[in-house]
Amino acid sequence: MRPLEQYATLRRGRKILLAQENEEWRQRTALLRKGYYTFAHWLGLHLIMWGYRLQRVGPLDRAHLYK
């Protein structure tokens, strides 16, 4: 068994590791969101250039496209 004073150190180390993992996760999701919005913007512009009219702004599954 480990001495009791090491448990506090282990808890502190685990808390630091969890904080680092959380920060990495937030950075990855921010990058994915940025890519999604860039693609959605590009798609909207090109649909308009190709002659489609969007009835309203929203996700593609709910948007109505008219030629």
**pTM over cut 0.95:** no
Domain ranges in the chain?
5-66
- Tell me: pLDDT of 23 over 90: yes
d(CA 18, CA 26): 12
Mean pLDDT of 19-48: 89
Cα R_g (the chain), whole angstroms: 24
The strand pairing partners of 51, in sequence order, are: none
User: What does the pLDDT read at residue 13?
Assistant: 86
pLDDT at site 60: 60
Q: How much is the pLDDT for 31?
A: 87
Per-residue pLDDT at 17: 93
What's the confidence (pLDDT) of residue 12?
A: 87
